[in-house]
């Protein structure tokens, strides 16, 4: 097998994406209480790889991503908060992680407050992050791994035009049950016209 022709461009020094109703920016210490308000909810964490979190739990788990704008490095990734423009409230967070620099691929994930659900804010935010992953970070492929029982995340991936590539049956022992796993993906060359 020959070497990959893919090369990552340099990471941006700063990162802020402002959309119609939301702003994405690297998460910081002052965001921890707002994040704990939704990440501390057992229902929000039902399909996530952690139990309800306090500010200290979030700092321990994600503190290495605080303020980062590069995907590279050990435990690398970029974590952005979703800030609602009309009131400045932090209503969720997004992450790009598990970079495979040779393949130009990374995973994408999201956590959104139930208070912001059903308003299209998550769709706007994730769409902006996908745009950024392809346009700013120069990635070639994004992957989202979703529990099929997480109907809201499945619907979000499909609204964005991500392709369901796999359904692994009883793949992992997860939160006291054998859980299935769906894999959604999208290539940069496919991203021109996601579904509204």
Instruction: Indicate which CATH number applies to the domain containing 44.
Output: 3.40.630.30
> Which pLDDT band holds residue 5 (cuts at 50, 70, 90)?
confident
Whole-model pTM: value is: 0.92
Distances in Å between the Cα of 79 and the Cα atoms of 12, 157, 175 are 14, 18, 24
> Which pLDDT band holds residue 2 (cuts at 50, 70, 90)?
low
- Is the pLDDT assigned to residue 130 strictly greater than 60? yes
Give the number of other Cβ atoms within 10 Å of residue 7's Cβ.
9
**Among residues 118, 184, 152, which one has the least CA distance to residue 44?**
152
Q: Is residue 118 part of a domain?
A: yes
Q: Is residue 180 part of a domain?
A: no
Can you state the percent helix, strand and coil of the chain, rounding each to 5? 30, 30, 40
What is the rounded average pLDDT of the residues 90-99?
96
Q: Is residue 64 part of a domain?
A: yes
Q: Is residue 67 part of a domain?
A: yes
Q: Is residue 43 part of a domain?
A: yes
Cβ atoms of residues 120 and 156 within 8 Å: no
- Is the pLDDT assigned to residue 193 strictly greater than 70? no
Domain that holds residue 57: 17-141
What is the rounded average pLDDT of the residues 25-43?
96
Q: Is residue 194 part of a domain?
A: no
Q: Is residue 60 part of a domain?
A: yes
* pLDDT at residue number 25: 97
Mean pLDDT score of the chain: 93
* pLDDT at residue number 146: 97
> Regarding predicted confidence, which is higher, 144 or 5?
144
Helices (H), 31-180: 32-39, 42-45, 55-62, 121-135, 151-159
Sequence-distant (≥ 6) Cβ neighbours of residue 165 within 8 angstroms:
183, 184, 185
What is the rounded average pLDDT of the residues 12-24?
95
Number of domains in the chain: 1
Q: Report the percentage of the chain scoring pLDDT > 70.
A: 96
pLDDT tens column, 168-180: 999 999 898 999 9
Q: Is residue 85 part of a domain?
A: yes
* pLDDT at residue number 128: 97
Burial of 105 (0-12, 13-18, 19+ CB in 10 A): middle
- Is the pLDDT assigned to residue 1 strictly greater than 60? no
What is the rounded average pLDDT of the residues 87-110?
95
């Amino acid at each position: 097998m020959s070497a990959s022709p893919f090369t990552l461009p340099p990471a941006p020094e700063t990162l802020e994406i402002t959309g119609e109703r939301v702003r994405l920016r690297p998460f910081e210490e002052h965001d921890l209480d707002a994040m704990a308000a939704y990440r501390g909810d057992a229902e929000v964490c039902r399909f996530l790889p952690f139990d309800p979190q306090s500010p200290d739990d979030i700092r321990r788990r994600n503190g290495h991503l605080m303020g980062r704008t590069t995907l590279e490095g050990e435990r690398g990734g970029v974590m952005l908060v979703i800030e609602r423009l009309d009131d400045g409230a932090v209503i969720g967070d997004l992450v790009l992680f598990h970079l495979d620099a040779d393949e130009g691929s990374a995973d994408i994930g999201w956590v959104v407050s139930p208070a912001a659900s059903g308003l299209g804010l998550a769709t706007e935010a994730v769409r902006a992050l996908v745009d950024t992953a392809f346009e700013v970070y120069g990635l070639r492929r994004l992957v989202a791994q979703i529990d099929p029982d997480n109907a809201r995340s499945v619907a979000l991936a499909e609204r964005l035009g991500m392709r369901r590539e796999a359904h692994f049956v009883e793949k992992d022992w997860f939160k006291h049950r054998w859980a299935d796993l769906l894999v959604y993906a999208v290539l940069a060359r496919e991203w021109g016209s996601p579904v509204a």
